[in-house]
Amino acid sequence: MTIQTTTHLNFRGNARQALEFYQSVFGGHTVLNTYADFGMPAELPGADKIVFGLVAAECGFRVMGYDIPGQSGRTIAGGGSTRRENNTTITDQALFVALESDVLEELQGYWDALAVDAIIIEPLAASMWSAGFGMLTDQFGVTWSVSVTAA
C-alpha cells in the first residue's frame, strides 16, 4: 500500500490566482472548479470562487486549494506573524509548505519564482544542517521552507 499526502491550502477569495501562480512556478497542470461548476447558481456571490483546485507537476509537486465561502483576505495559514528576536526571525504560522530536493540548483529556480513579492524570512543559503535552506512567505500568505536534503 502507498500513501500520498497533498498540502491543501484554504484561501479567502484568491485561490485561482494563487494556484495559477504555483503552476507558473512548478509547471504541470491545474484543475480549477468553481462553486458554480458544482451546482451553485451562477448569479450568487462567490459562485465564481474555487471549490476544488489542484496543481500537479511532473517534478512531484502537488498542492490543492479552495476559497472558503464568504471569506476574503490572506490564506488561513497566513494568519500568523513574523518578528525578530535576538537576531533570529520567528514566524508563528500554523504550517509551512516544505520543498526539498537533493540539488540546490533545482531549488534555486523555485525559490526565485516564489520570492516575487514575498517576505523573505531566511534567505536561501548554506546552513549548519543543509547545503541550502531558506524560508519565505509568498504573496498569498503561504510560508515555504526550502531546503537541500541532507546527505
> Would you say residue 116 has pLDDT above 60?
yes
**29-34 vs 119-125, strand pairing mode:** unpaired
Q: What is the CA radius of gyration of the chain?
A: 17
CATH of 7-67, one of 1.10.3470, 3.30.420, 2.60.120, 3.30.720: 3.30.720
**Reported CATH class of domain 77-148:** alpha beta
pLDDT confidence of residue 62? 96
Establish whether domains 7-67 and 77-148 are of one fold: yes
How do the domains of the chain map onto residue ranges? 7-67, 77-148
**Contact (CB, 8 A) for 35 and 51:** yes
Q: Can you tell me the distance from the alpha carbon of 82 to that of 85, in angstroms, rounded to the nearest whole number? A: 10
pTM score, whole prediction: 0.84
**How is residue 90 written as a grid cell?**
520567528
**What pLDDT, on a 0 to 100 scale, did the predictor assign at position 76?**
54
Q: What integer pLDDT is reported at residue 34 of this predicted model?
A: 96
**pLDDT surpassing 80 at residue 89:** no
